[in-house]
Structure 1
Amino acid sequence: MNSLRVRLGVLGLALLTGLTTPTPASAAEKAPSPTVEEQRLDRAAPQEILRRSGFDTVAPRLARALDAACSYGEARQAVAQEGARLWRRAVDRAQGRGPAGGDLSRDDDRPLYWARLGMTREVRTWEPDFGLTGGQRAALLDELERTSRGQTAVSYPHGKGLKRILLTGFDPFTLDRDIRISNPSGATALALDGTVIETADGPARIETAVFPVRWQDFTQGTVERTLRPYLPKVDLFTTVSQGRVGRFDIERTNGAWRGGFGDNDNVGRTETVPVTDPASQPQWTTTTLPYRAIVAAETGRFPVYDNTSVTEIPAGGTQPVVRPDGPTPGSTARQGGGGDYLSNEIAYRATLLRDRLGLHDRLPGGHVHTPVLQFGAGNTTEVTDPEFVRNRLDIIAQVRAILKAAAEQR
């Protein structure tokens, strides 16, 4: 037993040394430049959003923590703590807890987005005295992304009598078109995380997470890694994103195709959605949400549609064809109901994961597209206005009502 204890002690020391020993200068790599997405942070609108929410202190706080780190292990701990702190702070602000930090409305998702980018830029450009390898920097960035998006914070109470709902949202996107853009799906995730809705069948707890608008993250499996532990345990899930003007869509069918539109790093991808085991990959997946009940329910001021349209290349054909009633047998996907961008892709990946886990026949899940969040008439410069806030609050409330309608069908 003594020799075993000695060997374990040596092993523990070796592991600790791996976390504390400085990286040799020959192994350290020069810090990369900020990404395209991070470079937008210096524009006037993001800085105003951060000031008016009090989130302008977030990145400097992380910078101080990194400066105090004497090893990679300490840096990773600091990144994990500050990432989780940001998510909790954003959720608390959205749900009326703690100080607002400024006059920007609490329902706003943009402080979280821009503060996170400030943090990732700090990590990406940080050059500590002890040196970092490229792999270590990538691991720090991954830890920060996951913790600051709520992806590691999903937690349901134990016990019976409580339904479990999982909802995901997205970052703002198309920011070169309008740097002021907010994403109502991300705002919904913040507003509903950890909340309970009362249904005719009892209470239902909602947990949420937010995803980036970047093709590479999806290629690397961020959706599957986040959702896989929870899908077998929940009673209902929905991915949510911003869709068309003035309407909600419950997307009936999702397609295995990337259409090439630029992401938040201005990178496009035109290809079949890359997944594990491509030999068994279907061209289409379908919703198992109770779409008829959702469409029929009185959920809010925006109309809700069961969207069945897709674009396909028919079996034996060569050109894309729009199919209003869904795909035909043997066809190749070119657009799901939600298009060919990352909203379609998260729906495809989540429902494919559901099916590969053997949950298709017992787990309601799919994708909800919200209306486009619009500014008030004539507002082309201000970061917010009363109509903008009202639209976002109404969308959040209607998503909540849609979840209630769906949960009551279980």
Structure 2
Amino acid sequence: MRLTALLPLLTAVPLLAFPATAVAAPTPGCFDPAAALTVEEQRLTAALPAGGPAVGPELVRLAGFDPLVAEVKRDLCAARTSRRAARVVAQAGERLWRTAVDRAQGRRPDLGTLDRFDDRPLYWARLQLSSAIRQWRPSFPAPDRADLLKAFDRGSRGLDDVRFPPGRTRRVLVSGFDPFQLDGSGVRISNPAGASALQLDGRVLATPSGPALVQAVNFPVVWGYFDEGIVEAAYGEALRDRVRRPDVIMTISQGRPGRFDIERWAGAWRGGFPDNNNASVTGGVPPAAGWPQPDVQFIETTLPYARMLSVTGAYPVNFNQAFCVWPDSSQPGAGTPVCRSDAPAPGEIAASGGGGNYLSNESMYRSNRLRLGLGLNSLPGGHLHTPVLGQPTAPEALTDNDFEARRQAIAAEVVSLVTAAATDDRPPAAPPRAADAPRAAMDSLPGTVLPG
């Protein structure tokens, strides 16, 4: 959110090259349809029913995003230098994210007929453009394609749009996720966590303790991106900024049917469930290069869960205290995990956190490992699982009224839960003493970054 738009409110209140065998349909212009695509990008041709329109591109069309996609492709083909191509790609990512947020929050009623809460057009438009970047064949020496893809992806996920002002306004950083389990009829799936992130990005929430500015990003459901440090790029870069550091961090993902879960524990184990590129990874969560981080098996939430449990909405809110450990700490991965609801003992090896051992658990673990590594032990941080959204009722429908109503109800309750988490129940801070004035003055300088 731009600060110029924020001020009145405040005063009032990698990318990895995955192997692939299939290719996309021919695209006119400067693109090579024989260039290999990722498994995610290959799903752009998936149709329901067979012979009907491809689901992903149809959702992009229904949301009114297809002119944006076409324009970026034209601009990429028209680029005559590496510098111009890099600028086109970077601006495309940021423009796609901002368009998706503006549409989701009702500022672009001119865009399409699809429910504005729908997160799927952003996902599929991103894949259309990443496949175009991958298949782009310029007439001049191209910049590094991996760098282009990374720049586009960062922008299209909101990572380059996280801007907090200095001052006493509460700052909240949240993350959602892309849709996942997209094979077969799952190609229609939406992720209410991603939809909620679009509803929250840039909003100023009215909490009982004053306004709170929320910034949001969306993470991929791909193990490789996590290995490349996307969670650290989002949360670490924000947390180490002493002047504009968020006061609350919260990772959000889709969890169990019929309820919200505030997870007590995150565990340092990957269970191997296939990601959106059908890749599986099993073992301990690896360290993040270049960041301070403790070597711990479990991390406990510091979110104000008692206050969040008082939120009422369409779904009940639960404080999930479960976790699982391996029976023999000398052989992690062997045997049947032992699950409990008390607290992990020293020396026990994580088999799963309360949110399981997939990427949602890892997003909580990585973001809060950073929080602890930076010495922010008391800063509220943790994970929220939303209810499962499900799919449209008719087997071949892309949407229906019940599907849209469920997603809107989940997103509305997420906003209420984030508002509760953002409320500051501490007494107001005392004015700085005279001896502290030089440091306080330094903290107020725009762009000043001090060690945490």
Pick the TM interval, shorter chain. 0.7 to 0.9
TM-score by length of 1: 0.88
RMSD after superposition: 2.0
Asked if 1:35 is matched to 2:47, the reply is no
Asked if 1:87 is matched to 2:97, the reply is yes
C-alpha distance in structure 1 between counterparts of 2:294 and 2:423, whole Å: 34
- Do the aligned partners of 2:294 and 2:372 also contact (CA within 8 Å) in 1? no
Partner residue of 2:322?
A: 309
Asked if 1:324 is matched to 2:341, the reply is yes
Instruction: Give 1:47 shift.
Output: 2.2
C-alpha distance in structure 1 between counterparts of 2:112 and 2:136, whole Å: 29
| Paired residue type of 1:179 | V
- Do the aligned partners of 1:290 and 1:409 also contact (CA within 8 Å) in 2? no
Q: Any idea what SS the aligned residue of 1:276 has? A: coil
Instruction: Give 1:32 shift.
Output: 4.4
Partner residue of 1:98?
A: 108
Instruction: Give 1:31 shift.
Output: 8.4
- Do the aligned partners of 1:170 and 1:240 also contact (CA within 8 Å) in 2? yes
Q: Any idea what SS the aligned residue of 1:384 has? A: coil
Provide, for residues 61-108 of structure 1, a one-character-per-residue CA deviation record: whole Å limited to 9, x for no partner.
221111111122111100011111111100010011123422210011
Q: Any idea what SS the aligned residue of 1:380 has? A: coil
Q: How does 1:218-367 map to 2 (within 5 A)?
A: 218-232=226-240, 233-276=245-288, 280-295=294-309, 297-314=310-327, 316=329, 319=335, 320-361=337-378, 363-367=379-383
Instruction: Provide the aligned length of Structure 1 versus Structure 2.
Output: 376
Asked if 1:375 is matched to 2:391, the reply is yes
Partner residue of 1:203?
A: 211
C-alpha distance in structure 2 between counterparts of 1:326 and 1:317, whole Å: 20
Q: Which moved more, 1:385-394 or 1:314-323?
A: 314-323
Provide, for residues 206-261 of structure 1, a one-character-per-residue CA deviation record: whole Å limited to 9, x for no partner.
11111111100100111101211212511111000000000100010001111111
C-alpha distance in structure 2 between counterparts of 1:315 and 1:91, whole Å: 47
| Paired residue type of 1:265 | N
Partner residue of 1:181?
A: 189
| Paired residue type of 2:317 | V
C-alpha distance in structure 1 between counterparts of 2:161 and 2:349, whole Å: 37
**Unaligned ranges ≥5, structure 2:** 1-32, 47-53, 426-452
Work out which of the residue numbers 388, 392, 403 in structure 1 matches 2:407: 392
C-alpha distance in structure 2 between counterparts of 1:49 and 1:334, whole Å: 38
Q: Any idea what SS the aligned residue of 1:368 has? A: strand
- Do the aligned partners of 2:265 and 2:354 also contact (CA within 8 Å) in 1? yes
C-alpha distance in structure 2 between counterparts of 1:270 and 1:358, whole Å: 29
Q: Which moved more, 1:224-233 or 1:70-79?
A: 224-233
C-alpha distance in structure 2 between counterparts of 1:408 and 1:284, whole Å: 26
C-alpha distance in structure 2 between counterparts of 1:203 and 1:250, whole Å: 23
Q: Any idea what SS the aligned residue of 1:381 has? A: coil
C-alpha distance in structure 1 between counterparts of 2:223 and 2:105, whole Å: 30
Provide, for residues 294-332 of structure 1, a one-character-per-residue CA deviation record: whole Å limited to 9, x for no partner.
11x133121111111111114657532111334232111
| Paired residue type of 2:45 | D
Q: How does 1:54-69 map to 2 (within 5 A)?
A: 54-69=64-79
Partner residue of 1:167?
A: 174
Partner residue of 1:5?
A: none
Instruction: Give 1:121 shift.
Output: 0.3
Partner residue of 1:216?
A: 224
Instruction: Give 1:200 shift.
Output: 1.0
Partner residue of 1:10?
A: none
- Do the aligned partners of 1:120 and 1:141 also contact (CA within 8 Å) in 2? yes
Q: Any idea what SS the aligned residue of 2:187 has? A: coil
| Paired residue type of 1:299 | T
- Do the aligned partners of 1:164 and 1:236 also contact (CA within 8 Å) in 2? yes
C-alpha distance in structure 2 between counterparts of 1:371 and 1:304, whole Å: 10
C-alpha distance in structure 2 between counterparts of 1:356 and 1:344, whole Å: 18
Q: Any idea what SS the aligned residue of 1:203 has? A: strand
| Paired residue type of 1:228 | G
Q: Any idea what SS the aligned residue of 1:338 has? A: coil
C-alpha distance in structure 1 between counterparts of 2:252 and 2:370, whole Å: 16
> Do the aligned partners of residues 260 and 358 (structure 1) sit closer, same or farther apart at CA in structure 2, a change above 3 Å counting?
same
Q: Any idea what SS the aligned residue of 2:382 has? A: strand
> Do the aligned partners of residues 41 and 270 (structure 1) sit closer, same or farther apart at CA in structure 2, a change above 3 Å counting?
same
**Unaligned ranges ≥5, structure 1:** 1-29
- Do the aligned partners of 2:171 and 2:247 also contact (CA within 8 Å) in 1? yes
Instruction: Give 1:375 shift.
Output: 3.4
Q: Which moved more, 1:254-263 or 1:54-63?
A: 54-63
C-alpha distance in structure 2 between counterparts of 1:87 and 1:176, whole Å: 25
Q: Which moved more, 1:185-194 or 1:44-53?
A: 44-53
- Do the aligned partners of 1:31 and 1:124 also contact (CA within 8 Å) in 2? no
Provide, for residues 347-371 of structure 1, a one-character-per-residue CA deviation record: whole Å limited to 9, x for no partner.
100000000010012x101000000
| Paired residue type of 1:261 | F
C-alpha distance in structure 2 between counterparts of 1:216 and 1:193, whole Å: 25
Asked if 1:403 is matched to 2:418, the reply is yes
Q: Which moved more, 1:281-290 or 1:269-278?
A: 269-278
Partner residue of 2:437?
A: none
C-alpha distance in structure 1 between counterparts of 2:37 and 2:246, whole Å: 38
Work out which of the residue numbers 128, 132, 136 in structure 2 matches 1:118: 128
C-alpha distance in structure 2 between counterparts of 1:214 and 1:165, whole Å: 25
